[in-house]
Amino acid sequence: MSHQIPATKFVVHAVPAVSCILKWLKNYLARRRRCRMSNIRLPMAVCAVVAEILSKTGSHKTLDALFRAAGALGSPPDLSHGSKWKTWLFQEGNNEDVDSLALLGNLIEEFMDLPPLQHTADALNGINYDPAADYEAQRYRLIQVLEDHGFRYFRGGRVLPKGEVPLTPALGEQSAAPAVEPQKPSAIEDLLQTLIRGLPRAMHPLTHRRRGARSLSFESEYDIQDLLHSQLRPWVADIRPEEFTPSYAGSSTRMDFLLPKHKLVLEVKRVRDKAHAARVGDELIIDIEHYRRHPDCDRLWCVVYDPSHLIRNPAGLITDLQGHRSSTDGSVHVSVFVF
């Protein structure tokens, strides 16, 4: 005689099992989604340039909808049109539940991939105006800021860390060429140029660390000095930080790095705010006068880190300060780098 088990018992026992399986599957998919996400902090300078461009393209309502469609999860800040988009993008770029690079790419895709129509004059007041030229200037600035902070834009709204390429190139887009390994420097000048121009790339893995690891920041001149010092040590045996310079106008100053074998001094500045950007040139002029009197300084390399691009005319600053400076009490050759 066979015993039949009521079907209701299967249902009673199956419901909790199915519920557990669905819960596990949901958590698994969420973990997979987080692993694929680019939870990389978006620098304020990048947010500022993107917001400056977006603020000219629509109203609060239009841009609210754009942010939502791009992947923003949080509530928009209650700020003016000029400040709202920078702050919202920065907040979302620091939200671990947001794919920050996908959000950024979605926001700038239309601007980057769709240039304006060419016109020869403004129809309203007859003023000659070339929107294509204005667009190219804005686009170039955005590309430069992205590059300075270790990112690269690819057609189709894809922003990736430098060195990475999209798995599938967009239509009409050529695959990026493999990265070329830098050559071993043959002279101290080549070494210094490589290290100085590569500082933003060196900062990137330290400011965008893996989830759970404490990211580093470069908010002061000492932070930049320490990074440059650490990169110099494998190459230069004798580095003397913070040696005093001879007195000028009744005061002396500490130099950041002296490389006595090469009679070369490195002076590092970090632009803190708009007021400091306006006077950093004057600070360097005073520094040059100090270093000109130092017996072990024939060459002065001034390194100016301007992460928010507050210096209005960096090319003019370089032209004004760079070159040979001499007088009866000493001479020095000055090189200036702004990045």
Residues 195 and 310 in one domain: yes
**Closest among 300, 301, 292 to 339, alpha carbons compared:** 301
At 50 the pLDDT is: 94
Q: Is the pLDDT of residue 58 over 60?
A: yes
Residues 223 and 323 in one domain: yes
Is 26 within a domain? no
φ, ψ for residue 265, nearest 5 deg: -120, 140
Is 11 within a domain? no
Could you please report the per-residue DSSP string of 294-327? -TT-SEEEEEEE-TT---S-HHHHHHHH-EEEEE
Is 52 within a domain? yes
Rounded distance between C-alpha atoms, residue 230 and residue 175, angstroms? 35
Is 9 within a domain? no
- pLDDT tens track for 72-99: 998 899 998 878 999 999 999 888 888 8
At 87 the pLDDT is: 92
**Closest among 90, 109, 110 to 100, alpha carbons compared:** 90
The proportion of the chain whose per-residue pLDDT surpasses 70, expressed as a percent, equals: 74
At 308 the pLDDT is: 83
Q: Is the pLDDT of residue 168 over 80?
A: no
Arithmetic mean of pLDDT, 50-60 = 90
At 3 the pLDDT is: 55
Rounded distance between C-alpha atoms, residue 236 and residue 193, angstroms? 14
At 81 the pLDDT is: 83
At 123 the pLDDT is: 47
Report if pTM > 0.85. no
Q: How many domains does the structure of the chain reveal?
A: 2
Residues 227 and 332 in one domain: yes
User: Chain-centre distance of CA 134, in angstroms?
Assistant: 23
**Total number of residues shown for the chain:** 339
At 179 the pLDDT is: 46
At 249 the pLDDT is: 44
At 245 the pLDDT is: 54
Residues 108 and 237 in one domain: no
The proportion of the chain whose per-residue pLDDT surpasses 90, expressed as a percent, equals: 33
Asked whether the CA dihedral 196, 198, 201, 206 is positive or negative, the reply is negative
- Asked if 161 and 151 touch (Cβ cutoff 8 Å), the reply is yes
Residues 141 and 192 in one domain: no
Is 308 within a domain? yes
Is 3 within a domain? no
- pLDDT tens track for 87-130: 999 999 888 888 888 899 999 999 998 888 755 444 444 545 56
At 216 the pLDDT is: 86
Least confident of 141-150, 157-166, 241-250: 241-250
Of the ranges 17-31, 195-209, 276-290, which is most confident? 276-290
Of the ranges 104-118, 240-254, 269-283, which is most confident? 269-283
At 66 the pLDDT is: 92
At 202 the pLDDT is: 86
At 260 the pLDDT is: 92
Residues 216 and 121 in one domain: no
Domain membership of residue 52 as a residue range: 44-161
pLDDT-based confidence at residue 178 (cuts at 50, 70, 90): very low
Q: Is the pLDDT of residue 22 over 90?
A: no
Per-residue exposure over 287-305, b if at least 16 CB sit within 10 Å of its own CB, e if not: bbbbbbbbebbbbbbbbbb
Residues 209 and 331 in one domain: yes
**Closest among 118, 96, 99, 97 to 107, alpha carbons compared:** 99
Residues 194 and 333 in one domain: yes
Residues 96 and 50 in one domain: yes
At 201 the pLDDT is: 81
Is 315 within a domain? yes
Alpha helices, DSSP H only, in the chain?
A: 7-36, 44-54, 60-70, 81-93, 100-113, 131-148, 188-197, 199-207, 221-232, 274-292, 314-321
How does the average pLDDT of the chain come out, rounded? Answer: 80
Rounded distance between C-alpha atoms, residue 265 and residue 251, angstroms? 19
Q: Is the pLDDT of residue 132 over 80?
A: no
Rounded distance between C-alpha atoms, residue 327 and residue 325, angstroms? 7
Q: Who has greater pLDDT, 5 or 287?
A: 287
Q: Is the pLDDT of residue 296 over 80?
A: yes
Is 31 within a domain? no
Pairing mode, strands 299-305 and 264-270: parallel
Residues 295 and 216 in one domain: yes
**Closest among 308, 296, 246, 310 to 266, alpha carbons compared:** 296
Q: What residues contact residue 145 under an 8 Å CB cut-off, 6+ apart?
A: 45, 46, 49, 309
Residues 146 and 209 in one domain: no
Least confident of 91-100, 176-185, 261-270: 176-185
Q: Which amino acid is at 305?
A: Y
Residues 102 and 201 in one domain: no
